[in-house]
Amino acid sequence: MASQFGTSVQVNIFGQSHSDAIGVCIEGLPAGFYVDQQTLTSFMARRAPGQSAWSTPRKEADAVHFVSGLNPQGYTCGAPLCAVINNTNTHSADYDELTRIPRPGHADFPAQQKWLGFQDVAGGGHFSGRLTAPLCIAGGIAIQMLESMDITIAAHLCEIAGIADDNFAAYVNNSSFQQKLRDQMNALHDGRSFPVLNQDISVRMQEAITQARHDHDSVGGIVECVATGLPAGIGGPLFDGIESAIARIVFGIGGVKGLEFGRGFEASRMRGSKHNDGYRMHQDAIIPTTNSAGGNLGGLTTGAPLLFRMAIKPTSSIGLEQDSVDMQKKTNATLAVKGRHDPCIAPRAVPVAEAIMGIALLDQLVSYPSQHTFDAVVKSVTAQQI
């Protein structure tokens, strides 16, 4: 079971939704970086369940316990970093019926075919969105490291139930649009409980989620994520590119059904003269004047904002009766899913998108030709904090 990704920085996710604990092991982190655990706790809280009316009632503190990888002062020490989160609020009995009757939209049926009933069904087992919590541990640490290099990441709900938020101002690469993008990212970092840019849209989105819950149904959404401050040339051609690195992690999230960079599918309806990003000199630097490519070409960053969007399907576990089968009796059956589930998982996927961006970029930057720049930043930050 492939639960590991990354090249220079390797991340291994372990645990199941209702196992005693879930966690992550990270190898390759540079030594000498101070991990601000309070900042990490705040980041984890954005993904944690039971925080609002639009998420699952399952409440988990998602408190991170570091097993290894940090010295007594809280600095990375060069050893593999291992962190765990205890599962404390599980209702496994809600899932007993699923050993026979698979949930439509879930991995229950194909998992049964692969592991012949030995898979952990409770809470979705290893397929559960609960495993995005240890992913956010790794991502939260990566984001802190990137911020020390003046690389900033933010994400928001681009759309829910067909209701669209404003987009990031990332398609024009001039000073006024750069300032607007900074303002948008700063607003999201101010801790708003529902991560949208347009607060008027927030009300409509939440009403759509509430209606879906009332109807025992669910809705999906789109999350838009951007990173700024990147130099040009990060990544690689073919299968080692920055897009490939992000896509590998993104599609490890079961609820994701689509991914696009920059103009994405819209590019297929444009002419090359409109889609191509021209270049100009700016203060002795070469910059793209527009950013239809979403900050990457040929798998390499261009220096413009790196932008992706991921499509989140409607939550598969719903209270409405659906067609299924009884796998033991070999008969048709119906199923109304019990348990505690999000009527829309997209809001809690926003910090997950940021974590994905952070891990993918850190992995690429550690092996970047100018690695000495990263080492210098670590030493500088360490000197300031001693």
Residue 17 is predicted with a pLDDT of: 76
Residue 283 is predicted with a pLDDT of: 87
Nearest-5° angle of CA 184, CA 357, CA 308?
Answer: 65
Residue 20 is predicted with a pLDDT of: 84
Give how many domains the chain has, as a whole number.
1
CA distances to 1, 76, 124, 271 from 120, rounded to whole Å, are: 13, 34, 7, 50
The Cα 124–Cα 20 span in angstroms is 14
Residue that has been written with the tokens 């006024």 in this structure: 176
Chain segment 94-140, per-residue pLDDT in tens: 666 777 888 898 888 888 888 887 877 766 767 888 899 999 999 99
Residue 246 is predicted with a pLDDT of: 97
Phi, psi of 224 (to 5 degrees): -110, 130
Residue 90 is predicted with a pLDDT of: 60
Within the chain, which residues score under 50 in pLDDT?
A: 1, 371-372, 380, 382-384, 386
Q: Which residues contact 198 (CB under 8 A, 6 or more apart)?
A: 165, 166
Surface-to-core class of residue 38, CB atoms within 10 Å of its CB (0-12 exposed, 13-18 middle, 19+ buried): exposed
Domain of 270: which CATH number?
A: 3.60.150.10
Residue 60 is predicted with a pLDDT of: 59
Residue 360 is predicted with a pLDDT of: 97
Q: Any idea what DSSP says for residue 327? A: T
Residue 14 is predicted with a pLDDT of: 92
Q: Which amino acid is at 349?
A: A
Domain range for 125 = 4-385
Q: Which residues contact 3 (CB under 8 A, 6 or more apart)?
A: 12, 13, 14, 126
Chain segment 133-184, per-residue pLDDT in tens: 999 999 999 999 999 999 999 999 999 999 999 999 999 999 899 999 999 9
Residue 205 is predicted with a pLDDT of: 97
Residue that has been written with the tokens 């952070």 in this structure: 358
To the nearest 10°, report the CA torsion of 185, 187, 193, 198: -90
